[in-house]
């Protein structure tokens, strides 16, 4: 099966099968990523062929593209755990040509070619309909990060956390998950404290709905297993000491929705917050979440996420800029969400 083919003559039927994408390859010299011309015949198996309009650069995509962690499980690989596009062909009962769809997770961009290309062939069970409230670009300004934020807010509210119980802490506040979580929580009536290491972004966070900003350094050092009670709930994206301190500071009966490990995969704490204060630690997975949870998250996003918040979060780039953007994300020099126009 050919991945790359020299372009054929203009107007040839085979020419329509060629498309652009980011391709990660590996050889004896190591792993590398480049913009490549790909052949539709090389797309992996699936029952829905999609014309991709927009994708994103998530933290996991950045890890895959830069090779910082062994995210990619087979080579060659098109990265991109998200896409929004239009169905071109379908052998799946739920979808027909012309349907607008969104994809988040399911191992796409890791074990199955993903969204950072102009075409994708996917399992129709992985797709959800593009909400009427959003354009494809807006859906990718949300992407897995925003969808994960919605899953976290759903987890907290389903655990019985209400605005009258106190403040909600959001860590990694200027990132994609944190930014969308702040906007959703503010819309739901919560008082949000945004933890960040970027004091210059305080106005950005307040515009999203944060009532207060907090220096992330206050949470990053090792702390006591039980500390002064403050948070009714937490959206925690970092792991490590930050997660341990967030649990130690959560009020009796509160809940912590944990969805990330940007600081560390370690969890250096004790059982004391859970057995003495009845704190609930809620694990939030976006990759394999069932369809019901996905639809609930997208419903919340469509209902509660202001268009103005989306515009303040989105950073528009073209497909050819994706590799550089991934390096920037890993260096911690960005805020919000990279939205990739794969046709630019």
Non-local (6+) Cβ contacts of 207 within 8 A are 312
Non-local (6+) Cβ contacts of 179 within 8 A are 145, 149, 173, 208, 309, 313, 335, 336, 337
Task: Specify the pLDDT at position 184.
Answer: 97
Which range is least confidently modeled, 63-72, 189-198, 229-238, 267-276?
A: 63-72
* Other beta carbons within 10 Å of 174: 25
* Other beta carbons within 10 Å of 313: 25
Is CATH 3.40.50.970 correct for 13-130+310-341?
A: no
Instruction: For 252, list phi and psi in degrees, rounded to 5.
Output: -55, 130
In this prediction the pTM is 0.89
Residue 263 clears pLDDT 90, i.e. is over it: yes
> What would the mean pLDDT of 178-188 be, rounded to a whole number?
96
Q: How far apart are CA 310 and CA 88, in angstroms?
A: 28
Task: Specify the pLDDT at position 129.
Answer: 97
Residue 53 clears pLDDT 90, i.e. is over it: yes
> What would the mean pLDDT of 256-276 be, rounded to a whole number?
96
* Average pLDDT of every residue of the chain: 93
> What would the mean pLDDT of 303-324 be, rounded to a whole number?
91
Task: Specify the pLDDT at position 70.
Answer: 86
Task: Specify the pLDDT at position 3.
Answer: 60
Strands 127-129 and 100-104: antiparallel
Contact 256, 250 (CB under 8 A): yes
Q: Is the peptide bond before 58 cis (omega within 30 degrees of 0)?
A: no
Q: How far apart are CA 25 and CA 247, in angstroms?
A: 41
Task: Specify the pLDDT at position 311.
Answer: 87
Non-local (6+) Cβ contacts of 295 within 8 A are 128
Task: Specify the pLDDT at position 251.
Answer: 98
Q: What's the CA dihedral at 143, 146, 147, 153 to 10 degrees?
A: 180
Calculate what percentage of the chain has a pLDDT beyond 70.
Answer: 95
Which range is least confidently modeled, 70-74, 205-209, 271-275, 296-300?
A: 70-74
Task: Specify the pLDDT at position 13.
Answer: 55
Residue 8 clears pLDDT 80, i.e. is over it: no
The model's confidence at residue 10, banded by pLDDT at 50, 70 and 90, is very low
Residue 1 clears pLDDT 60, i.e. is over it: no
Residue 144 clears pLDDT 70, i.e. is over it: yes
> In angstroms, what CA-CA distances link 163 with 81, 147, 167, 306?
33, 21, 8, 19
Strands 100-104 and 82-90: antiparallel
Q: How far apart are CA 159 and CA 254, in angstroms?
A: 9
CATH topology of domain 144-283: Rossmann fold (3.40.50)
> What would the mean pLDDT of 104-109 be, rounded to a whole number?
96
Report domain extents, the chain: 13-130+310-341, 144-283
Q: How far apart are CA 124 and CA 54, in angstroms?
A: 18
Residue 12 clears pLDDT 70, i.e. is over it: no
> In angstroms, what CA-CA distances link 72 with 23, 33, 180, 296?
11, 12, 27, 29
Task: Specify the pLDDT at position 262.
Answer: 87
Contact 18, 6 (CB under 8 A): no
Non-local (6+) Cβ contacts of 341 within 8 A are 53, 54, 137, 316, 317, 318, 319
Six-digit token string for 108: 């796409």
Residue 15 clears pLDDT 80, i.e. is over it: no
Residue 6 clears pLDDT 90, i.e. is over it: no
């Amino acid at each position: 099966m050919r991945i790359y083919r020299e372009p054929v003559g203009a107007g040839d039927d085979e020419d329509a099968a060629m498309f652009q994408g980011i391709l990660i390859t590996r050889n004896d010299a190591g792993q590398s990523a480049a913009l490549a011309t790909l052949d539709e015949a090389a797309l992996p198996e699936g029952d829905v062929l999609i014309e991709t309009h927009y994708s994103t650069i998530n933290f996991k995509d950045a890890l895959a593209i830069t090779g910082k962690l062994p995210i990619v499980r087979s080579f060659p690989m098109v990265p991109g755990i998200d896409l929004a596009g239009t169905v071109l062909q379908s052998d799946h009962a739920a979808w027909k040509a012309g349907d607008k769809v969104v994809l988040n997770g399911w191992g796409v961009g890791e074990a199955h070619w993903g969204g950072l290309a102009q075409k994708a062939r996917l399992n129709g069970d992985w797709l959800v309909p593009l909400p009427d409230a959003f354009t494809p670009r807006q859906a990718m300004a949300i992407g897995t990060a925003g969808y994960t934020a919605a899953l976290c807010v759903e987890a907290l509210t389903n655990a019985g956390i209400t605005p009258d119980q106190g403040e909600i802490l959001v860590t990694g506040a200027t990132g994609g998950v944190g930014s969308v979580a702040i906007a959703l929580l503010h819309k739901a009536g919560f008082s949000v404290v945004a933890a960040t290491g970027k004091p210059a972004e305080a106005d950005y966070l307040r515009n999203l709905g944060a009532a207060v900003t907090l220096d992330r350094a206050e949470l990053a050092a090792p702390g006591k297993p039980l500390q002064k009670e403050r948070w009714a709930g937490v959206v925690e994206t970092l792991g490590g000491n930050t997660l341990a301190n967030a649990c130690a500071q959560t009020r009796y009966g509160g809940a912590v929705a944990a969805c990330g490990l940007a600081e560390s995969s370690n969890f250096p704490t004790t059982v004391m917050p859970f057995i003495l204060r009845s704190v609930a630690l809620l694990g939030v997975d976006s990759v394999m979440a069932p369809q019901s949870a996905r639809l609930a998250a997208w419903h919340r996003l469509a209902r509660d996420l202001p268009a103005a918040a989306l515009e303040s979060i989105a950073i528009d780039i073209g497909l050819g800029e994706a590799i550089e953007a991934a390096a920037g994300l890993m260096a911690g020099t960005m805020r919000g969400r990279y939205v990739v126009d794969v046709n630019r």
